Amino acid sequence: MKNDAVAFGKLIQDYRKQLFSYLLRLCGDRMTAEDLFQETLIKVWKGFKSYNERNKFSSWLFSIAHNVAVDSIRKESAKNIVHSFEDVQTIAGDNNPHKAFVEKETNELVMAAVNTLSEKQKQVFLLRQHSDMTFKEISEATNQPLNTVLGHMHYAVSGIRKKLSKEYG
Amino acid sequence: MDDTNKKLCKEFESEMWLLIDHSLGKERKKFWQAHLVSCSACSSLLKTSTETIEQYNQVPFDDLSDGSYKNIISTITAEDEQSKHIVIPIKENRTLFEIFGFYKLTFGGALVAAAIIFLFITFINDPKIPEIKEVLPKQILSWNDNQTADRLERVGDQIYSLKTDEWDIYFIRKNKQENWNKALSSIQKQIRKMQKEVTSASM
């Protein structure tokens, strides 16, 4: 049992940052993201029996995370809770202060552009960027036709690009 | 740009992602590669989209603290361990269902019922059960009033006399046989006598 817990910790460790970032960027609040992270891992831990080893673990993990996050967002929007997305980290890891400042600003702009996307566009875009899921897998995870998913991705990326080009002039 | 090309470019907006994903078939991939050579709008779209994606990927991942992560993992695995060792307290006045369980009790009940039916059938239909005696002893008969006792005695006598009659019939039949034999032998004697008389007369 203790060995299982250690192995589980190690397995999740590989996806820890991608998963947490995905949840944080989707919901926009650190506390909520930590709760969603825990809820996702509880479902993964309890659902190991139902996991089909022929499927990619990351796809299964992110499908669960997606469902958990979407449920939470739906509940919060029903309560009219709006997050500011200020918790999303945009600080660059560079030692050069000037370069770090520029990178931070760029990152902030990118994240601000992502936050302007519609909920569906953001879900598809973030799933694609944070997990190793193919568009077919995303269409299954989000219960949307493949063409709809591809359309969301196109509008998400062009939306970010337009926003960034506006900012840069 | 003509209408056919416009339609193709619109199609490319979606299929571009499958091309990036390497999920297109060989033929389709070749088709789009050829289109990209001839269409500057689509090749520009592919370039800018890839750049935007790369720009997003430059944003470092967020992370939770190691303490929070360890806490979450230990909470999840500990919760599961606790749920596997739940001890159900034993009540003092437990029902039979609680002690034996529903299925065990039902099965046991069915077995007992089957045993009772088997015993009942075996003893009721037993051919070895002794027949009621025809002649009852007077001591037994005396328990009731005299009238009943007399009637029963008379019935007893009738049964006995019936048996006696059977014996009489037997003797009559036996006698009849003897008489018949005697009659036959006297007839035979008479015939022999007549034969002798006939032979003596002829001589």
- pLDDT for B96-121, tens place per residue? 666 667 777 788 889 999 999 988 88
Instruction: Inspect the interface and report whether the beta carbons of A45 and B77 lie closer than 8 Å.
Output: yes
**Ranges of H-type helices in B25-145:** 26-38, 40-58, 66-84, 96-100, 102-124, 138-141
Q: Taking chain B, what is the end-to-end CA distance rounded to the nearest angstrom?
A: 168
Rg (alpha carbons) of chain B, rounded to whole number = 60
Q: Does B20 touch chain A (CB under 8 A)?
A: no
Q: Does B80 touch chain A if contact means CB atoms closer than 8 Å?
A: yes
Q: Six-digit token pair at A155? A: 């509008």
Report the chain A residue with the minimal C-alpha distance to residue B79: A42
Domains held by chain A: number: 1
- CA dist., res. B71 & res. A38, Å (int): 10
| Look-up of token digits 């045993």 | B115
Residue spans of the domains in chain B: they are 3-58, 95-129, 138-198
pTM of the model: 0.62
Lookup result for tokens 């590989």: A14
| Chain A contact set for B81 (CB, 8 A) | 1
The rounded distance, in Å, linking the Cα atoms of A17 and B62 is 6
pLDDT tens for residues A23-73? 999 988 899 999 999 999 999 998 887 788 888 899 999 999 999 999 988
Minimum-distance CB partner of B23 among A8, A106, A134: A134
Contacts of B59 in chain A (CB under 8 A): 90, 107, 110-111
pLDDT tens across A110-157, in order? 999 999 999 999 999 999 999 989 999 999 999 999 999 999 999 999
Determine, for residues A42 and B76 on separate chains, whether the beta-carbon distance falls below 8 Å.
yes
Q: What is the pLDDT of residue A52?
A: 81
As given in the structure block, the two tokens for residue B33 are 């590669």
Q: How far is CA A14 from CA A9, A10, A66, B136, in A?
A: 9, 7, 18, 102
- Geometric angle at alpha carbon A109, from A107 and A110, rounded to 5°: 65
DSSP A109-157: HHHHHHHTS-HHHHHHHHHHHHS---HHHHHHHTT--HHHHHHHHHHHH
Instruction: Find chain A residues with C-beta within 8 A of B65's C-beta.
Output: none
Q: By the CB < 8 Å criterion, does B54 face chain A?
A: no
